[in-house]
Amino acid sequence: MEDPGPGTAVGGLKERLDEIRARVSWKPVLAAVTVGALLALAGERALAWQEDRQHLTDTKDAAAAATTEVNGLIAVSNDTSDEALTSLLDGATAGFRTELEAQADRLRTALKKNKVMATGDVVSAGVVKLDDGRATVIVAATGTVSNTKTAAAEPRNYRLRVDLQQQGDQWLVSGLEFVA
């Protein structure tokens, strides 16, 4: 096929396209694509950073909630049982609260009858599982217990597995188990 001359419509269009191609620089296009890719990468990294910060916050909050509940549990004594049990109930989910309430009167009676005096502190707490608003925390604690059967306060070591559920901005205990 012959090249149409400059005077024809097709030839004029070809000349015009050649002029446009000559004027268009690929550098700005390449720069725009690069900037777009960098913005997309920055956005993805910002979301990942936000998720990491939330995970860290949830980890700290779950460990703190487990620590508070265990401290309350191991330090319950005959003279503090009402306040301690109220605090434990306040930190429990509805299901676990029902379990605690079922045992509360029996526990109060035993504490008063045996004149139990207990102290304790959490030594360490570590989150072993955290997923979708649920956490499992292993807690190690030490304390002392005295009662009508002991001559002096006896040292105690505790290890507990505490299961928690996040409700709003609060972590509540949904299960608690002494472990070996």
| pLDDT for 1 | 52
Q: How confident is the model at residue 47 (pLDDT cuts 50, 70, 90)?
A: confident
**pTM of the predicted protein model:** 0.73
pLDDT tens per residue, range 105-117: 999 999 999 999 9
The token pair at 57 is 């916050």
Q: Could you tell me the residue ranges of all domains in the chain?
A: 26-178
How many angstroms separate the CA atoms of 33 and 93, rounded?
52
- Asked whether the beta carbons of 75 and 120 are under 8 A apart, the reply is yes
pLDDT tens per residue, range 64-78: 999 999 999 999 998
Q: 26-178: which CATH architecture?
A: Roll (3.10)
- Asked whether the beta carbons of 133 and 102 are under 8 A apart, the reply is no
How many angstroms separate the CA atoms of 70 and 57, rounded?
20
